[in-house]
Amino acid sequence: GVIRGLVPNDLATMYGVSTIRGNGVTGTGVTIAVVEDSDMVAADWTNFTTTFNLTKFGGSFTQVNPAPSSGVNNCEDPDAYYGDTQDDGEALLDAEWSTAIAPGANIVVASCSDAYENNGNYYEATSNFFGGVFVAATNLINESSGRPDIISASYGFGEQFTDSASKTGIDLMWAQADAEGISVFVSTGDSGSNPSFNGAVINGQSGNTAVDANSFATSPNDTGVGGTDLADIIDGTTSKYFAATPSAVGGSALSYVPEIPWNESCGNGVAATSLGYASAVAFCNAALAYTKKPPSTPTNLQYYENVWQTSEAGSGGPSM
Span of 18-32, 97-111, 237-251 with lowest mean pLDDT? 237-251
CA 49 to CA 2: how far, in whole Å? 26
Among 212, 233, 230, 213, residue whose Cα is nearest residue 222: 213
Among 215, 199, 205, residue whose Cα is nearest residue 162: 215
The mean of the pLDDT values for the chain is 89
Reduced to 3 states (helix: H, G, I; strand: E, B; else coil), residue 51 is helix
Q: Which of 192-196, 209-213, 268-272, 297-301 has the highest mean pLDDT?
A: 268-272
Say whether pLDDT at 305 is over 70.
no
Q: 17-41 burial by CB neighbour count: b if 16+ within 10 A, else e? A: beeebeeeebbeebbbbbbbbbbbb
How many CA atoms lie less than 13 Å away from 203 in the CB half-sphere?
Answer: 14
- Which pLDDT belongs to residue 197? 79
- Which pLDDT belongs to residue 201? 65
Span of 30-34, 68-72, 103-107 with lowest mean pLDDT? 68-72
Cite the beta strand spans of the chain per DSSP E: 31-36, 60-64, 106-111, 115-118, 121-124, 150-153, 183-187, 223-225, 228-230, 259-261
**Could you read off the pLDDT of 74-125 as tens digits, one per residue?**
999 998 877 777 678 889 999 999 999 999 999 999 999 999 888 888 999 9
More confident residue, 301 or 280: 280
Report the predicted TM-score, pTM, of the whole model to 2 decimal places.
Answer: 0.90
- Which pLDDT belongs to residue 2? 59
- Which pLDDT belongs to residue 303? 47
Mean pLDDT of 35-49: 94
Backbone angles phi, psi at 311, to 5 degrees: -100, 35
Q: Give the pairing of strands 121-124 and 115-118.
A: antiparallel
Say whether pLDDT at 298 is over 60.
no
pLDDT > 90 in the chain, percent: 63
Instruction: Give the burial class of 83: count Cβ atoms within 10 A of its Cβ; 0-12 exposed, 13-18 middle, 19 or more buried.
Output: exposed
Among 285, 233, 281, 230, residue whose Cα is nearest residue 257: 230
CA 117 to CA 122: how far, in whole Å? 4
Residue 295's pLDDT band (boundaries 50, 70, 90)?
low
For the chain, give every domain's residue range.
8-155+228-261
pLDDT > 70 in the chain, percent: 89
